[in-house]
């Protein structure tokens, strides 16, 4: 009998190790794995756990856009296998964009006053991040700020480099010069010099910024008809003394309002020339909201007007129980307005006081608040004493108490010449389902109407804050430094109701106005070309 034995399969481990010896730890898009299909006479087969990322030549032809992939490469000879694991890097363009987003989060996009802590590494990865400044004399390549006098436009070019791939991106910002408080001092000096040396005439341009130092200057006038674009002075139709006011703004801590008493000569313009210039100018003012002025008065709803004199059902009086507003002594007028100021009406109305409701829920509109005041007046145990005269939103105006009723709204008690005793209270709605921008312009129309009705001017416009400093009201207008913008809105409405109402002003336009007539929202429609007519005569040709 002949004996025989079964042979063992040859161990191919050394060959498989050699087959996988050139596999890198990271493979990038477009790179090819150097894999041998035959080693020492043995055919080696390769498979991937994610074959969709490779072509037949083992080239990485597709990568995941958003993340790295762990790839398992299996080499086999017969039934024997070995594995190698490596990282397939995400698409470099998207990867670099994520790095740029991270880098950019450390670079301010606005004004820089200190050194910048530039990012030089990313997620402990092997990437090189460098920067080049276009003005290293102001901001160095490593983000160090060098003191300088004026604001300078800076561009930092960031370059990313990894494994032979590169990408660049520019980051722009302003490197601030001298501090804002010093600029404000310079601005005050500029205004003082200007007012001391310039002869104020028809069309005089008032300073709106400080050359080389920036800032925003907005002008208004005691007589609303004399300045309506922040900077252009129009002379009155009769010579008069007025106060000019300018708001100087850099930051909340570098802010100042200056007031100047000036004597102005009479203009040589006719009223029609003035009106024509006004409608042409205002129809070209850039804004998301356009008003085509034509003398419109506010629409005031009287459905919930509380008759404090004749309604015997009123049981709760959240107002001062006077038949008329109390008189104001001359000494009080001298102190609160200016020396020699004469109250220009017989109703003892000295102020128009602006508030914001602070009620931001949907539905907290003028109608709701008008109904609330009406119910409050007729409910014996009403616990709320606050009251005001008008409520305004983006589509309506409601009057609750007549102008002669002194309401409780200014937090200054029974102060002579104060906001409660002698100020008409206006609440501006901030409800979430309303448009605050339109509400402001609707409110401006009411304010202009009240100024004309009581023969008042811009000096008589007040904030709740003016009578009680802890009250940050009107909040949105104050927070966004829009008070002088609001006064300018009122000035234009004042001119419209005082002068344009004497003429037939028409605009040939296909635009659709907001619920407030004459106010157009340009954020949802194009400003088309239009013609303007005064008393039927074309004054422009668009």
SS (H, E, C) 189-250: HHHHHHHHHCCCCCCCECCCCECCCECEEEEEECCCCCCCCCCECCCCCCCEEEEEEEEEEE
- Helix or strand or coil: residue 498? helix
* CA–CA distance, 349 with 406 (Å, rounded to integer): 9
> What confidence tens digit (pLDDT) does each residue in 376-406 have?
898 877 667 889 999 999 999 999 999 999 9
Residue 328 is assigned to a structural domain of this protein: yes
Residue 82 is assigned to a structural domain of this protein: yes
Going by C-beta distance under 8 Å and a sequence separation of 6 or more, which residues neighbour residue 54?
33, 48, 60, 61
Final residue before a domain boundary, out of 155, 175, 195: 175
Checking if the pLDDT of 3 tops 50, the result is: no
Residues 455 and 317 in one domain: yes
Final residue before a domain boundary, out of 175, 195, 212: 175
For position 383, what pLDDT does the model report?
66
Checking if the pLDDT of 2 tops 50, the result is: no
For position 322, what pLDDT does the model report?
67
* CA–CA distance, 128 with 269 (Å, rounded to integer): 68
> What confidence tens digit (pLDDT) does each residue in 401-433 have?
999 999 999 999 999 999 999 999 999 999 999
Residues 352 and 465 in one domain: yes
Q: Is 389 exposed, middle or buried (0-12, 13-18, 19+ CB in 10 A)?
A: buried
Q: Which of 145, 135, 141, 136 is nearest to 112 (CA)?
A: 145
Residue 54 is assigned to a structural domain of this protein: yes
Taking CA atoms, 346 is separated from 59, 306, 342, 422, 454, in Å, by 92, 22, 11, 12, 8
Residue 52 is assigned to a structural domain of this protein: yes
Residues 321 and 231 in one domain: no
Q: pLDDT grade, residue 285 (50/70/90)? A: confident
Mean pLDDT of 351-370: 97
Residues 363 and 488 in one domain: yes
Task: Check: CB of residue 322 under 8 Å from CB of residue 473.
Answer: no
Checking if the pLDDT of 472 tops 60, the result is: yes
Residues 25 and 120 in one domain: no
Residues 118 and 260 in one domain: no
Q: Is 313 exposed, middle or buried (0-12, 13-18, 19+ CB in 10 A)?
A: exposed
Residues 135 and 237 in one domain: no
Residue 282 is assigned to a structural domain of this protein: no
DSSP 441-474: HHHHHHHHHHHHHTT--GGGEEEHHHH-TT---S
Q: Which of 510, 518, 512, 455 is nearest to 492 (CA)?
A: 518
Mean pLDDT of 512-525: 93
Q: What is the CATH number of the domain that holds 451?
A: 3.40.80.10
* CA–CA distance, 69 with 213 (Å, rounded to integer): 52
Domain count, the chain: 4
Taking CA atoms, 469 is separated from 289, 371, 428, in Å, by 31, 29, 19
Final residue before a domain boundary, out of 133, 151, 175: 175
Residue 515 is assigned to a structural domain of this protein: no
Q: What is the CATH number of the domain that holds 53?
A: 2.60.40.1080
Could you tell me which residues are beta bridge partners of residue 48?
A: 73
Percent of the chain exceeding pLDDT 90 equals: 85
Mean pLDDT score of the chain, rounded to an integer?
A: 93
State the distance between the two ends of the chain, measured CA to CA, in whole angstroms: 119
- Beta strands 45-48 and 69-77 are antiparallel
Residue 275 is assigned to a structural domain of this protein: no
Residues 163 and 59 in one domain: no
Count the Cβ atoms, other than its own, within 10 Å of residue 136.
13
Residues 193 and 325 in one domain: no
Lowest-pLDDT range, 18-27, 118-127, 316-325, 372-381? 316-325
Residue 214 is assigned to a structural domain of this protein: yes
* CA–CA distance, 45 with 57 (Å, rounded to integer): 13
List the domain range (segments joined by +) for residue 438: 297-500
Residues 142 and 208 in one domain: no
Residues 327 and 448 in one domain: yes
Mean pLDDT of 40-53: 95
Q: pLDDT grade, residue 7 (50/70/90)? A: low
Q: pLDDT grade, residue 356 (50/70/90)? A: very high
Q: Which of 188, 194, 199, 152 is nearest to 173 (CA)?
A: 152
Lowest-pLDDT range, 165-169, 244-248, 310-314? 310-314
Q: Which of 163, 101, 157, 113 is nearest to 132 (CA)?
A: 157
Checking if the pLDDT of 1 tops 70, the result is: no
Residues 127 and 166 in one domain: yes
Going by C-beta distance under 8 Å and a sequence separation of 6 or more, which residues neighbour residue 82?
13, 16, 17, 19, 20, 74, 75, 76
């Amino acid at each position: 009998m002949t004996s025989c034995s079964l042979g063992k399969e040859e161990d191919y481990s050394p060959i498989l190790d050699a087959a996988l010896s050139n596999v890198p730890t990271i493979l990038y898009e477009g790179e090819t794995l150097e894999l041998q299909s035959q080693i020492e006479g043995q055919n080696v087969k390769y498979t991937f756990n994610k074959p969709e990322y490779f072509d037949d030549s083992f080239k990485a032809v597709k990568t995941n856009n958003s993340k790295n992939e762990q790839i398992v490469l299996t080499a086999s000879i017969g039934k024997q296998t070995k594995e190698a694991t490596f990282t397939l890097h995400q698409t470099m363009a998207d990867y670099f964009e994520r790095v740029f987003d991270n880098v950019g989060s450390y670079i301010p996009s606005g004004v820089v006053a200190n050194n910048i802590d530039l990012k030089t590494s990313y997620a402990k990865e092997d990437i090189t991040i460098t920067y080049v400044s276009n003005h290293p004399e102001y901001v160095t390549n490593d983000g160090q700020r060098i003191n300088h006098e004026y604001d300078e436009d800076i561009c930092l070019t960031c370059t990313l480099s990894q494994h032979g791939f590169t990408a660049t991106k520019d980051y722009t910002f302003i490197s601030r010069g001298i501090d804002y408080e010093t600029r404000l001092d310079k601005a005050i000096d500029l205004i003082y010099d200007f007012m001391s040396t310039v002869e104020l005439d028809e069309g005089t341009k008032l300073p709106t910024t400080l050359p080389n130092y920036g800032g925003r200057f907005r002008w208004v006038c005691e007589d609303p008809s004399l300045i309506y674009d922040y900077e252009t002075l129009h002379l009155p139709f009769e010579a008069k003394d007025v106060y000019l006011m300018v708001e100087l703004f850099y930051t909340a801590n570098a802010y100042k309002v200056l007031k100047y008493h000036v004597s102005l000569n009479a203009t040589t313009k006719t009223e029609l020339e003035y009106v024509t210039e006004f409608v042409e100018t205002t129809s070209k003012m850039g804004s998301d909201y356009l008003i085509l002025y034509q003398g419109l008065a506010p629409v005031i709803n009287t459905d919930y007007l509380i008759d404090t004199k004749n309604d015997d059902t009123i049981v709760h009086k959240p107002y001062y129980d006077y038949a008329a507003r109390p008189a104001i002594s001359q000494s009080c007028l001298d102190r609160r307005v200016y020396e020699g100021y004469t109250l220009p009406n017989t109703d003892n109305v000295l102020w128009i006081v602006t508030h914001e409701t602070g009620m931001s829920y949907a539905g907290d509109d003028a109608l709701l608040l008008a109904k609330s005041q009406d119910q409050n007046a007729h409910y014996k145990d009403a616990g709320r004493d606050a009251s005001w005269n008008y409520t305004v939103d983006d589509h309506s105006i409601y009057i609750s108490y007549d102008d002669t009723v002194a309401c409780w709204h200014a937090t200054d008690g029974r102060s002579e010449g104060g906001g409660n005793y002698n100020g008409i209270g206006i609440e501006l709605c901030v409800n979430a389902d309303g448009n605050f921008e339109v509400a402001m312009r609707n409110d401006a129309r009411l304010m202009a109407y009240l100024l004309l009705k009581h023969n008042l001017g811009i000096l008589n416009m007040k904030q709740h804050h003016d009578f009680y400093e802890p009250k940050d009201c009107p909040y949105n207008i104050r927070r966004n430094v829009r008070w002088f913008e609001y006064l300018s809105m009122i000035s234009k409405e004042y001119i419209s109701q005082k002068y344009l109402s004497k003429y037939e002003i028409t605009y040939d336009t296909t635009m659709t106005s907001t619920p407030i007539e004459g106010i157009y929202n340009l954020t949802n429609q194009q400003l088309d070309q239009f013609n303007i007519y005064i008393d039927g005569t074309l004054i422009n040709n668009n």
